[in-house]
Each structure stands twice: as C-alpha cells, then as structure tokens.
Amino acid sequence: MRSYIVGVGMTKFEKPESRDWQYWDMVKEAGTAALADASVRYEDIQQAAVGYCFQASTAGQRAVYELGLTGIPVYNVNNNCATGSTALMMARQFVEGGGSDCVLALGFEKMARGSLGGGGSDGGAGDFKTSPVARHYGIMAAGHGFEMTPPTAQIFGNAAREHMERYGTTEAQLAAVAAKNHRHSTGNPYAQFQDPYTVDEVLAAKPIHRPLTRLQCSPTSDGAAAAVVVSERFVEQHDLGERAVEIAAQAMTTDTEDSFASGTCIDAVGLPMSREAARQVYESAGIGAADLDVIELHDCFSINELLTYEALGLCGEGESGALVESGATTHGGRWVVNPSGGLISKGHPLGATGIAQAAELTWQLRGEAGARQVPDARTGLAHNIGLGGAAVVTLLRR
C-alpha cells in the first residue's frame, strides 16, 4: 500500500523564551495549518504520532487535545534529534500496514536557552555511567580527551578535526556550509535566523569547539511541525491528487559495530548509519543520488553536512569539502541542499526537525516554496539523525 503527505504545517522556529507560548500552542498552530493544507478535519484523523524530547510522558496527548478530543490513539515518540522523522515513519507504517487511512505526524519542542548539555534526551555526554550515549562519548574521550565545551559541539567538532587531518578539508570549506545555509534561510519566513553571512564572517564568529564557530552550530529552538499522511484510497476518495506527495521510500537504521570499530568520532556521530539508511532507500526506490533534485539533511553542525554528502553518495569519501566549495549544493548547482536554511539557520527544535524537513520538501515538490523554490523539483530526500543513535532517510516524490 502506498502512502502520501497531503498536508503540512509548521510554526516559525523561534529562539527559546522569545515568544510567550506553550508547546500545545505550537502544536495547535502547526497542526491546524496542516489540516487546512490537506482540506481535512481533525475528526478524519484516525491515529497520531507525536514526537518530542523535553516534556513529560503523554505530552503528546496534551498537545493534540488542542486540535480535538476524539479519543484516537496517540503515540509519544522520543528518538533524540531523529524524533520528528521517527514520528513520520510511524505514521507511514500505520497507513501502509492498512490500519489507518489518515494519520497525523506531529513534532514539537520547547527548549531552554544555551547549548545542549548533559543528559540522555538532549544527546549530551551526561554521566558516562548512565547516559545512553556513553559509548559514543567514550570513543571521543579515548581519541581526543574531554574539553570544557558543549558536549555535542565537541564530538562533532572532533569529527571535523579528523576529517581535516584525514582528507585535507579546510576550515573555509566547513564555513562554506554555514554560509550557504544562512544565505538560503533569507528566503524562508519560518527560519529562526534570516541573515546572510559570508565565509569570512562565519570563520570570525565566536569559537564553540575548534574548528566550529557559533554560526556553524544549530541553535536551540522552540517550534512545531505537522504532516497529514494518508492512503492512496483516501487520496482518491477526497480528490487530493493535486496536493499529494508520495512517501516513495523510507528507512531507519541504528548503530552497528561500524559506529565504534574505527574509534573515530566520524563514525560515532553516525556516518555508517546514514550511509546504510540511504542505501536501503535508493535500493527500495530504484534510484541513486544523481536522481535527486532537492535535499534537506541534518546539518546540526557544518561538519555533519559534509559527512552526509558522502553518506548519501553525492561525492566520494573525503570529497565533500570540495563539493560544497564548488557550488554544487546550492541554487544553480547539481542539487540544492537545505534550501530551508537547514538546522544551522532555520533552527533545531529536536522533535519538530524531521517533520519540518518533510514540510519543506512537500512545498518544494508542489512548487510552493516561494523565493527558495528549486525549479522543476520532482524528487526530494530528507535525512534526519539522532546521536545514540538513529538515522532516518525519506524519499518524497511527486
């Protein structure tokens, strides 16, 4: 059975505490927009998968109760930074398994200001004895020691150091990722940041963990996103063919021995997971990287965009720095990667990110993305990863 996204909605991603709202207010805004986009009522929704990391159990119910009190099953999802795409995957599985014809995928986050710190749900190092990412940070500590910098920036920053040492990647190439995504976000009214920066300005920004500067790190954010996922039968019954974007393939992978065997941060932060998820999606859909038009990928830090180029097969191993520098991943290049501004500039409310990626691709494939539109986009790929770990790759096709 085939599944389709027929409606999407999201809030503007905001700096934490900059707006007087609660997480249920965010969900009402994003969910109402998605329902209106799909021309369906909340009463048509048969199940809901709701993703978040920083609220208590059953916060998903509290959130969707603002949309209606219909008694439907509500599933609360927490999978670190891959939470939103995990909720979307559950919604797709509910539909493709034949259990439901119309499902709502939601993601939200209300975060604290400042860098992600210790503790399991935020991907920080926390107490090595109890943190679910203890093994990942143990790899980092063995190879690089442990510095007094934000843990997530530290493990990704150390991955950047490894990439530079191994392949000759330059600080300017890392900064080119951030400059590109900040430039893209100027056309996105939903983005937390909408100011352009040059490579030199990115390099001159406040250091977070060498070689990463502040402008190369995704910020903490408040926000929500929603998608209505339906069956082919529902599309036909409700005459939604003009709105429908097919979820053509999707895969989730978790860590294997490959994440840890090399002892590198490059592998510990998820390169093997991403590569395998992409392989499964390409094989399922019968396509390759050359067939993609637009990509939304998990640039939590600039280095992760470069690693993901290699994982998705956009270039060979070690060639990602040259790829971004060549202009191949922006407007006028071979692909447009992160036209929304990506996590670095659009923002990163953990539970909402994966669904916001799907929303952007839905708008792109419908030709509704305005100033950031990729001409004639027909095939889009979303990549969402969470440390600890999970990688979700989703292929959308019009």
* Residue numbers annotated as active site: 81, 348
What is the side-by-side strand order in the sheet with 336-337? 74-77, 47-51, 102-109, 223-231, 3-10, 245-253, 390-397, 379-386, 294-296, 336-337
Q: Are 231 and 359 in contact (CB under 8 A)?
A: no
Cα separation, 332 vs 323, in Å, equals 14
Residue 179 tokens, joined? 């400059």
